[in-house]
Amino acid sequence: MSADLLTQQRSVPPRTEAKLAEESFLTDDLIRQLINVGEVDILVGLPTHNNGKTITPVLQAIQAGILKCFPRERVVIINADGGSRDGTPELITGASIDDVRHAYKLHALRTLHAITTQYGTTPASGPALRTILASADLLRAKACAVISPESSNIDPEWVARLLQPVYRENFDLVLPVYQRHKFEGLLMRQLVYPMTRAIYGWRVREPFATDYAFSGGLGSQFLTDNHWDDEAGHSGPELLLTLTALTRGFRSCQTFLGPKGTSDRGSSDLVPAIRQTVGSLFSSLEPNYPVWSGISGSQALTTIGPESEVTLEPLRVNRKRLREMFCSGVSELQSVFASILMPETLAQLRLLGSCTEDEFRYSEELWVKTVYEFAAAYQKAVISRDHIVQALAPLYRGRIFSFLSENRNATGEMVEANVEGLCSEFERLKPYLLEIWNGGK
Amino acid sequence: MIRDIEVVAPRGHATDSRRPNLLGGDSDSEENRLPIKQDPLWYKDAVVYQVHVRTFQDSNADGIGDFPGLTQKLDYLQELGTTALWLMPFFPSPLRDDGYDIADYRSVHPSYGTLDDFKKFLTGAHERGIRVIIELVLNHTSDQHPWFQESRISRDNPKRDWYVWSETDNRYKGTRIIFLDTEMSNWAWDPISKAYYWHRFFGHQPDLNYDNPAVREEMWQVMKFWLEMGVDGFRLDAVPYLVEREGTNCENLPETHTILKDLRRRLDQEFPGRMLLAEANQWPADLRPYFGDGDEFHMAFHFPLMPRMFMGLKLEDRKPITEILQQTPEIPSSCQWCLFLRNHDELTLEMVTDMERDYMYDVYAHSKGMRLNLGIRRRLAPLLDNDRRRIELMNGMLMSLPGTPIIYYGDEIGMGDNIYLGDRNGVRTPMQWSGGWNAGFSSADPESLYSPVISNPVYGYQAVNVLSQKRSEQSLLSWMQHIIRVRRSTQVFGAGSIEFLYPANHRVLAYIRKLGNEVVLVVNNLSNAAQAVELDLRRYKGQILIEMFGKNLFPRVGDLPYLLTMGPYQFYWFRLRRI
C-alpha cells in the first residue's frame, strides 16, 4: 500500500467563531446546561431512543468506570435522545451517583454531571453524534467516548479501555474489538470489515462502532466536515468518523472490550442495518476515491488486547429461511439485479438460486464481486441508491447461509481463518472494483 | 437566634465603609480603649488571631519573641479587627514539641517573659476589646515535668499513678499511632522505672492518667489559676485521648466526656462567660458529642472542612465543601464551630479518604519536603501559589461559612514558609513587620533568632511585611482588615443559619446566611475562569441585593432565576433588603 497516503499529516483547524456557528442547532436549554458544566476533560456521549430497559445499568457502569479510572478529571455524560417515549432521559437525569458509589464502593472527588437533551423526535445517529460532538467542542473536552445504550454487557472497565488511549496515550480514535460468538456480527465480518479493510488499507475490526472514543481534535475536525446533511452523515456517521481518522492521519487503535451485549433485534432489522452500515460505506467511496484508489493491501492497526475472540456455544440459526429468502430475492429482483450486477455475476446467482441446500455455496469470490458491483452501481446511481443497498439484503442472506453451513463445526480459529480468507479476497479483487468503478466493464 | 447584645466596635467599624488608615497615629486614643463587653456568647462573633508569643515580637533582643513584644503589637491586632487572641503554649517547657510538652503549668517560659509580663499583656488586650484564649495541654506533660519525674522514680511514689504505666507494651492494641513519621508505638520503655508508659504523641510526652481523681482535680486547679488571672478561654489540646480503655481505640470514650463535662460545670459555676475550645481532629459526627447538650465545649475545630475547602478550590467544584457541611451535625445554639485555613500544624489530611489525600498531595505538596505525617506543612499563600484572588476567596469563605474564623499569624500579609526547617517549624518563622533588620521582629543578631526569617525574593520580609502593606490600601493586609470589618458588621455570619443553594453551575458555591430578618447571600466562584450562574431566589422575590463591600445596589429579585456573572475566583456577599 502507498505509505504516503496512509501517513498524511493531520491538520486540525483551530476552533473559530465560524466553526462554532455550526453548532447553532443546539437548543437553548442544552446551551444553558453546558454553561453550568463548563470546561471538561472527558465527555461520554450516550445516544438513546427508548432504551429504558437497559439504560440504568449502562449508565451506572459508565459512572463507575469514570469514578474508578478518572476520579480527578472533569467529566460530563451527555445523553442525546431521539424522542424516547419510555422515559429514558428521565431515568438518566434521575439516577443517583450514590447508587454507583455504594454498589461499586467508589468515592467521587468532584461532581459528575449527567445532562440530557432531545435532538429530535425521531432517532438518527447523525444528529445524536453531532449534538455530542458540538457539546464536546464547546466544553473543550480532551477525550470523548460514545457508548451504546444497548451495551448490556458493559463493564466499568470499558470506560478506561476506550478513553485511556485517547486521554493518556494521545490516540485520536479508539475502536472496539469484541468477543463474539462465531455466528454473531456477521454483517460486520462478512462485509463491512473486509471491505473497509480492502478499500482503506487498515484492519479495523469494527469500523462502524457503537462503542468508541475519540480525541477532541478529531471530534472538532469531524464536526466541521460538511456531511451532516448527507444520508451517510445522517444515519451512519460512526463509519465516517472512522474513515476521517484513517484517511487524515489521526492516530487510531483498537481495544478489546470483551463480550458485546446482544440486542433483541430480529431478522427484520437487517435491511435497516444494511442501509445504515453498507449505505454509509458505499457513500464514503466517492469522496474518498483519491485516497483509497491508490491503496493496495492492508496493515494492522495498533490493538490493545486480543485482536479477536470467538465463542462457540450452541446457537440456533434458521438457515433454511435464509436460503429461501435468497432464492425468492433472486427471483423477484431480477430486473433490479440486472441493472446493478455484471451479467456473469447475475448468472451465477441465478444458478445458485436453483441449487439444492446441499449444493448451495455462495463462494467468497462471487460474494466479493457482488459487493463490489453493488458499490460501483451505487456510485453510478443506476437506480435509486437506497434501492441498491436494500437489494443487497437477500444476497447477503445467501452468503450467510453459505458461511453458516461451512462453519457449522468450525473452531474459533477456523472461523477467524475463514474471515481472514474473505478479507484477502476483498483485497485481491480490489482492482476489479477499480475497473468497474472507472467504467472498464 | 437573635441576641440582644451590642458587638464591641473598634474604630472604623459599624456602617462606615471607608477603609481605615492603618498608618493612623491615633491608635492609642481613648476611642480604642474599649472595655470587654459582657457577652456570654462572645466567641460566636469573634475573629480569632492565632499566634505563638515566640514568633511575634522580640522586646529584649534575645532573638525570641516575648510577652512585652506581643503587648507592643496589640494595637496592630486591634486595627486588624481581631477580637480574640489564641496563644499557643507559653509555659516552661524543654520545647521538644514547640511548647506542647509542658513542664510547669503555672508559669511562663523564661524566654517569653514573666508572669507579670503576661498579666500586663492580658490587661492591654482587654483594654483593646481583645479577649485572650490560652492553650492548655490536658492530655500529657513533658517527661521533664516534676510530676513525671516523681512518678518514674518509685512505684510507691504518690505521683506514680498520675501517669499510665504498664509492665508490657501489649495493652490498648486497638489504638492508632498519631505521629507515624516518628513513633513506632504508643508505649515507651522507661529505664528508670523499668516499665512502659503510655504516650499518644511523642515519646517524651507521657499521658496523664485521668482515671486518677487527683489528676483531674489538679488540672482544674491549673485552669482556675489562669482563669482567676483573667484569661477568657482555653483551647484544650488533644482532648479525645484523656482516657484509655482496653478493647477500644482509646479515643472519644464516654469517660473522657464525663471528665470534660465536669470541667465545664466548674467553669460555668465559678467563671461564667469563659470559653472552652476543643482540639479534636475527628469527623464531625464524632466531634458532635464534644458539644454535649451545650454543657461540654463551647467551640470545636471543624477539621474536615479545611482540607475540603482547598480541595474544592483546586477541583473547581463545590462538592467537597457542600458534602462535608451536609454531614456536619447540628450543634446546640450556644455552641460554635471554629474554622481555619491554616494553623501552626501541618494541613492535616487525616479526615479525608485515601484518594482525596493522594490528590491533595499531588496538587498542593508535590515535593516530599512539603509533607509531614498525614499532612502538608505549608502556609496559606504558598499553598495558593501566592495568588491574591484565591487567597481572598478562601478568606471570604472562611469569614462567611458558619463558625468563628481563626487567622493564623502572618497569613493576613501572605507570609511564606520554609520547608527546609524540620517538623512544623517552617510555618512558625518570625513575623515580618518590616523590610529592615530581622524583618523588624528582633534587634538581635540574625544568627541568634529562634528561627531564620523568610528571606526568599517572593515571600521574604523585604517583599512581604506589615509596614509596606500598611502603606497601600490595595494590600492584602488592608483587604483583610476590610473583610473583617464587613464580617463584624453583622451577627449573621457568626450566629446565622446556613442554607445551600445548588445552582446547576457546580463551580459556584452559594449559600444563604440568615439570622432573624437579616438575610445574606454569599456566592463564591471556585473557578479560575469567569462563570455565569443562575440562582433560585424566588423566595426573596422583591428584595434588593446590596453588595456588602462596596454597598452597591444590584437588581431586585424577580420571578426568573437571578443571573450573576462572576470573574475568576470572585465572591460576593449580598445583604438582601425589602424596600
pLDDT, tens digit, 9 for 90 and up, residues B124-135 = 999 999 999 999
Q: What is the pLDDT of residue B28?
A: 40
| Cβ distance of B531 and A111 shorter than 8 Å | no
Per-residue confidence band for A8, with pLDDT thresholds at 50, 70 and 90: very low
Please state the φ and ψ torsions of residue A22, each to the nearest 5 degrees. Answer: -60, -20
Between the alpha carbon of residue B576 and those of residues B227, B500, B508, B510, the distances in Å are 41, 16, 19, 14
Best residue in A105, A110, A116, A117 to probe B by mutation, most B CBs within 10 Å? A110
Please give the model's pTM, rounded to 2 decimal places.
0.82
Q: In this structure, what C-alpha cell is assigned to residue B246?
A: 482496653
| Cβ distance of B311 and A72 shorter than 8 Å | no
| Cβ distance of A111 and B529 shorter than 8 Å | no
Q: What percent of chain B has pLDDT over 90?
A: 83
Q: What is the pLDDT of residue B316?
A: 96
In A, minimum Cα distance to B354 occurs at: A107
- B319 contacts in A (CB within 8 Å)? 108-111
- B315 contacts in A (CB within 8 Å)? 72, 109-110
pLDDT of B104 higher than 80 = yes
Helices B476-488/B388-400 angle, 10° precision: 20
- DSSP letter string, A373-396: HHHHHHHHTSS-HHHHHHHHHHHH
Q: What torsion, rounded to 10 degrees, do the Cα atoms A338, A340, A343, A346 define?
A: -80
pLDDT of B281 higher than 50 = yes
| Cβ distance of B356 and A107 shorter than 8 Å | yes
**Across B456-478, average pLDDT:** 96
Q: Can you tell me the distance from the alpha carbon of B128 to that of B123, in angstroms, rounded to the nearest whole number?
A: 9
Q: Is B237 a catalytic residue?
A: yes
Q: Can you tell me the distance from the alpha carbon of B543 to that of B575, in angstroms, rounded to the nearest whole number?
A: 10
Q: Single out the catalytic residue among B135, B279, B346, B411.
A: B279
Per-residue confidence band for A262, with pLDDT thresholds at 50, 70 and 90: low
Judge whether B88 and B344 are in contact, CB under 8 Å.
yes
In whole angstroms, how large is the CA radius of gyration of chain B? 24
Tell me the pairing of strands A42-48 and A75-81.
parallel
Q: In this structure, what C-alpha cell is assigned to residue B365?
A: 505538596
| Cβ distance of A111 and B353 shorter than 8 Å | no
Per-residue confidence band for B3, with pLDDT thresholds at 50, 70 and 90: very low
Between the alpha carbon of residue B392 and those of residues A316, B236, B364, B481, the distances in Å are 70, 30, 18, 12
Domains in chain A, CATH or no CATH each: 3-309 (3.90.550.10), 319-437 (no CATH)
Between the alpha carbon of residue B253 and those of residues B174, B247, B286, the distances in Å are 13, 11, 10
Helices A364-380/A270-285 angle, 10° precision: 70
Judge whether A93 is closer than 8 Å to chain B, CB to CB.
no
Q: Which residues of B touch A (CB under 8 A)?
A: 311, 315-320, 353, 355-356, 359, 503-507, 527, 529, 531-534
pLDDT of B7 higher than 50 = no
Judge whether A94 is closer than 8 Å to chain B, CB to CB.
no
**Across B341-347, average pLDDT:** 88
Closest Cα in chain B, distance from residue A110 (Å): 6
Q: What percent of chain B has pLDDT over 70?
A: 94
| Cβ distance of B317 and A38 shorter than 8 Å | no
Q: What is the pLDDT of residue A18?
A: 46
- Nearest CB to A107: which of B317, B353, B532? B353
**Across A195-224, average pLDDT:** 95
- B527 contacts in A (CB within 8 Å)? 38
Per-residue confidence band for B35, with pLDDT thresholds at 50, 70 and 90: low
Q: Single out the catalytic residue among B58, B232, B237, B346.
A: B237
| Cβ distance of A71 and B532 shorter than 8 Å | no
Q: Can you tell me the distance from the alpha carbon of B573 to that of B570, in angstroms, rounded to the nearest whole number?
A: 10
Q: What is the pLDDT of residue B196?
A: 97
CA B256 to chain centroid, in Å, comes to 23
- A36 contacts in B (CB within 8 Å)? 503-506, 533
Count Cβ atoms below 10 Å from residue B31 Cβ, excluding itself. Answer: 11
> If 0-12 CB within 10 Å is exposed, 13-18 middle and 19+ buried, where does residue A44 land?
buried
Per-residue confidence band for B8, with pLDDT thresholds at 50, 70 and 90: very low
pLDDT, tens digit, 9 for 90 and up, residues A70-128 = 999 999 999 999 999 999 999 999 888 888 888 788 888 899 999 999 998 888 889 99
Per-residue confidence band for B345, with pLDDT thresholds at 50, 70 and 90: confident
Alpha helix locations (H) across B90-177?
115-127, 146-153
- DSSP letter string, A56-83: HHHHHHHHHHHHHH-TTS-EEEEEEES-
| Cβ distance of B506 and A36 shorter than 8 Å | yes
In this prediction, the answer to ipTM > 0.85 reads no
Per-residue confidence band for B346, with pLDDT thresholds at 50, 70 and 90: confident
pLDDT, tens digit, 9 for 90 and up, residues B49-69 = 999 999 999 999 999 999 999
Per-residue confidence band for A2, with pLDDT thresholds at 50, 70 and 90: very low
Average pLDDT, chain B: 91
Q: Is B101 a catalytic residue?
A: no
